[in-house]
Amino acid sequence: MSVKTTIVKLPVGYREVVEENGSKVKKVHREATIKELDGYAEEAIYSSASRSNPGALITTLLQHAVTKIGDYEISPTKNKRIIESLTISDRMFLMIEIRRLIEGDILPMSAKCPYCGNNFEYEVNLAELEVSVVPDDKEPVVEIEFSTSIKDKNGNESRVAIFKYPDGKIQKEVLGAYADNVGKATTAIAERCLINFEGLIEVPPRWAAGFPLSDRKKIRKALIIDTPGYNQVLQIPCPNCGRVGETTLELDSFLA
């Protein structure tokens, strides 16, 4: 039996620091080998443990479909930690590539026009979507400038913060705890991904909960939507009124 496989390049990659000749070197593992899913994958994906948490489900699916990342072999029993430490955007990228391998490039979607209310179907060609990449020598972090500032105990004030992109572990924790509460999920992601506010020595606990909704929207946009990888924001013209609406890419369930 021959199984379809392909090699793809991760937009962020698995990043680690290794010892080489006595000095510490940053290494980016970007090449991922993926294969078509088999019956074992299907059985694991439909098990109750993975179905109770979307983050865990993606990890299970990727452990079955990815066979290699850089120098590391991946299997259902090997290097789960690497799959979990990939950014949510790299995990989404892999899901899209697996979908392309199984079903091809054309993704049918449905939309409702925000202007005239028309419901319509359209097709996205996944091969034509833009993919943005974080180069090896750049850190996978994002800066956000808020309209609100916060203070530390010394009275220093800041409205600019640096965040890392959320990874699979954060995805599993947050979706497990707050799948039905986007507010709590946003606060949790902001707090877990914050590296620091410029010039502050610490931040007050639950700082993100006190932020206005406009600033919290910036957090979701920067950490979940405008991330490296496939451009997930699509501009779709309505066939009825011709105006262009914005929607986000949604993978169909290619297991159904």
Applying CB under 5 A, the residues found at the interface with Zn ion are 113, 115-116, 118, 238, 240-241
Pick the closer one to Zn ion by CB: 104 or 114: 114
Pick the closer one to Zn ion by CB: 122 or 254: 122
- Torsion sign (Cα): 107, 111, 114, 116: positive
Q: How far is the CB of 251 from Zn ion (least distance, A)?
A: 24
Q: How far is the CB of 246 from Zn ion (least distance, A)?
A: 13
Residue 95 identity: M
Pick the closer one to Zn ion by CB: 110 or 132: 110
Q: How far is the CB of 130 from Zn ion (least distance, A)?
A: 25
Q: How far is the CB of 238 from Zn ion (least distance, A)?
A: 3
> What are the residue ranges of helices labelled H in 116-212?
168-178, 182-193
> What are the residue ranges of helices labelled H in the chain?
39-45, 48-51, 54-65, 80-85, 88-103, 168-178, 182-193, 213-220
Pick the closer one to Zn ion by CB: 118 or 247: 118
Pick the closer one to Zn ion by CB: 67 or 118: 118
Give DSSP secondary structure letters for 16-55.
EEEEETTEEEEEEEEEEEEE---HHHHHHHTSHHHHT-HH
Q: How far is the CB of 117 from Zn ion (least distance, A)?
A: 7
Q: How far is the CB of 114 from Zn ion (least distance, A)?
A: 8
Which residues sit opposite 68 in a β-bridge? 33, 73
* Sequence-ordered list of residues with C-beta below 8 angstroms from that of 183, at least 6 positions apart, any chain: none
Pick the closer one to Zn ion by CB: 113 or 200: 113
End-to-end CA distance of the chain: 23
